[in-house]
């Protein structure tokens, strides 16, 4: 957000009206409301995972006599513990693993999108501000090169470059999960760079930027205090839509064994393990992680579409 800390009651009241306007627009689209509810549900799962999960996600339980892991939903182990969604091949509770897996998934997605936004916004803002110069050219051609790779391929290549597991760069040790966030952030930062550059270019042509210059405002002040607030809506929309893609990429990396490493619960890894049991009829093993991934992608996409409609001024005006 901007560095402009405002004083006086008048500004507080004013911000509320902008929010109210946004909410009025957003609320009209039922699908985006559904998306919002789905996203809230995931956020709830992620935040309260330790309270919601009935068992430790890596604890193994023994199947009763006459049964073997993976056990179907509503089975009980030798000690009579109930597994609502069954167990996996090591006898771990699928519900607990799914809840914790959702938590990790969202951690990675939110973390990598945040880093990607930071990198992308900076690149795009500089390129837009220096539009037409060699700086702009250099940054945007780099962005073009990165975008010319399919994102999953680029992510796999980056994991290959960094190596699997935690990495050491001099004295800094990055855990595996931070490394994955970085990989995905680098993969997706060009998209934010493009959005940001477009917004900066568009806003720079407006006279309020000229007015700020005439007032003697520095370039940094113009970018941060004048242009950035106008860039927030398209960036939020982009971030929300990118969350869906990131969820997919994270899960894909884990599925391929290049992402999160066992025994950490991860929806992608669960799918990978479940592959072997598909033809044995262990549907719950696939449906739970697969469904959670799909639903998350759907939710973020619906929310992103709704946000775009509500935040895009042209769209908003048409409805009014």
Instruction: Decide: is 24 part of the binding site for other proteins (CB under 8 A).
Output: no
- Name the minimum Å distance from CB 226 to other proteins: 6
- Binds other proteins (CB under 8 A): choice among 163, 229, 263, 291: 229
For the window 236-255, what string marks contact with other proteins as x by the rule CB under 8 A? --------------------
Please tell me the count of residues contacting other proteins according to CB under 8 A: 31
- Given the complex with other proteins, which of 14 and 78 has the nearer CB atom? 14
- Given the complex with other proteins, which of 12 and 173 has the nearer CB atom? 12
CA of residue 118 relative to chain centroid, distance: 14
- Given the complex with other proteins, which of 11 and 276 has the nearer CB atom? 11
d(Cα 151, Cα 171) in Å, to the nearest integer? 30
- Name the minimum Å distance from CB 193 to other proteins: 18
Contact segment (CB under 8 A) with other proteins among 43-51, 89-97, 204-212, 236-244 equals 204-212
Q: If 0-12 CB within 10 Å is exposed, 13-18 middle and 19+ buried, where does residue 251 land?
A: buried
- Given the complex with other proteins, which of 157 and 211 has the nearer CB atom? 211
- Binds other proteins (CB under 8 A): choice among 74, 84, 211, 220: 211
Q: Could you tell me which residues come within 8 angstroms of residue 151 by beta carbon, excluding any fewer than 6 positions away?
A: 187, 188, 245, 249
d(Cα 263, Cα 242) in Å, to the nearest integer? 27
Instruction: Decide: is 78 part of the binding site for other proteins (CB under 8 A).
Output: no
- Binds other proteins (CB under 8 A): choice among 80, 132, 170, 171: 132
The three state secondary structure string of the chain is CCCCCCCCHHHHHHHHHHHHHHHHHHHCCHHHHHHHHHHHHHHHHHHCHHHHCCCCCCCCCCCCCCCCCCCCCCEECCCCCEECCCECCCCCEHHHHHHHHHHHHHHHHHHHHHHHHHHHHHHHHHHHHCCCCHHHHHHHHHHHHHHCCCHHHHHHHHHHHHCCCCEEECCEEECHHHHHHHHHHHHHHHHHHHHHHHHHHHHHCCHHHHHHHHCCCCHHHHHHHHHHHHHHHHHHHHHHHHHHHHHHHHHHHHHCCCCCCCCCCCHHHHHHHHHHHHHHCCHHHHHHHHHHHHHHHHHHHHHHHHHHHHHCHHHHHHHC
- Given the complex with other proteins, which of 180 and 222 has the nearer CB atom? 222
Instruction: Decide: is 7 part of the binding site for other proteins (CB under 8 A).
Output: yes
- Binds other proteins (CB under 8 A): choice among 208, 219, 263, 315: 208
Instruction: Decide: is 5 part of the binding site for other proteins (CB under 8 A).
Output: no
Contact segment (CB under 8 A) with other proteins among 42-50, 176-184, 218-226, 296-304 equals 218-226
Instruction: Decide: is 18 part of the binding site for other proteins (CB under 8 A).
Output: yes
- Binds other proteins (CB under 8 A): choice among 210, 219, 276, 291: 210
- Binds other proteins (CB under 8 A): choice among 165, 214, 279, 314: 214
Would you state the structure tokens that stand for residue 88, as one six-digit string?
């996996």
- Given the complex with other proteins, which of 74 and 211 has the nearer CB atom? 211
- Name the minimum Å distance from CB 211 to other proteins: 6
Instruction: Decide: is 213 part of the binding site for other proteins (CB under 8 A).
Output: yes
Q: Give the residues lining the site for other proteins (CB under 8 A).
A: 4, 6-8, 10-11, 13-14, 17-18, 132-134, 137, 206-208, 210-217, 221, 225-226, 229-230, 313
């Amino acid at each position: 957000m901007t560095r402009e800390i405002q004083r006086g009651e008048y500004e507080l009241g004013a911000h509320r009206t902008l929010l109210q306007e946004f909410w009025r627009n957003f609320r009209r689209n039922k699908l985006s409301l559904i998306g919002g509810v789905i996203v809230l549900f995931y956020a709830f799962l992620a935040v309260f995972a330790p309270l919601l999960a009935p068992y430790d996600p890596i604890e193994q339980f023994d199947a009763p006599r006459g049964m073997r892991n993976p056990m179907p939903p509503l089975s009980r182990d030798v000690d009579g513990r109930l597994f609502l969604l069954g167990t996996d091949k090591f006898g771990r509770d699928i519900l607990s693993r799914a809840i914790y897996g959702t938590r990790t998934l969202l951690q990675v997605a939110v973390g990598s999108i945040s880093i990607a936004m930071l990198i992308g916004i900076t690149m795009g803002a500089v390129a837009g501000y220096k539009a037409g110069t060699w700086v702009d050219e250099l940054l945007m051609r780099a962005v073009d090169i990165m975008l010319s790779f399919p994102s999953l391929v680029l992510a796999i290549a980056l994991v290959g470059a960094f190596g699997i597991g935690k990495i050491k760069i001099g004295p800094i040790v990055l855990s595996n999960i931070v490394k994955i966030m970085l990989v995905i952030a680098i993969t997706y930062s060009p998209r934010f760079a493009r959005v940001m550059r477009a917004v900066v270019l568009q806003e720079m042509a407006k006279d309020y930027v000229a007015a700020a210059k005439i007032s003697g405002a520095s370039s940094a002040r113009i970018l941060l205090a004048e242009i950035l607030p106008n860039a927030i809506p398209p960036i939020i929309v982009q971030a929300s839509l990118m969350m869906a893609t990131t969820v997919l990429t994270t899960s894909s990396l884990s599925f391929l064994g290049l992402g999160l490493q066992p025994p950490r619960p991860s929806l992608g890894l669960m799918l990978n393990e479940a592959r072997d049991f598909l033809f044995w009829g262990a549907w719950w093993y696939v449906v739970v992680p697969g469904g959670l991934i799909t639903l998350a992608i759907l939710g973020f996409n619906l929310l992103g579409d709704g946000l775009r409609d509500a935040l895009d001024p042209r769209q908003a005006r048409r409805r009014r």
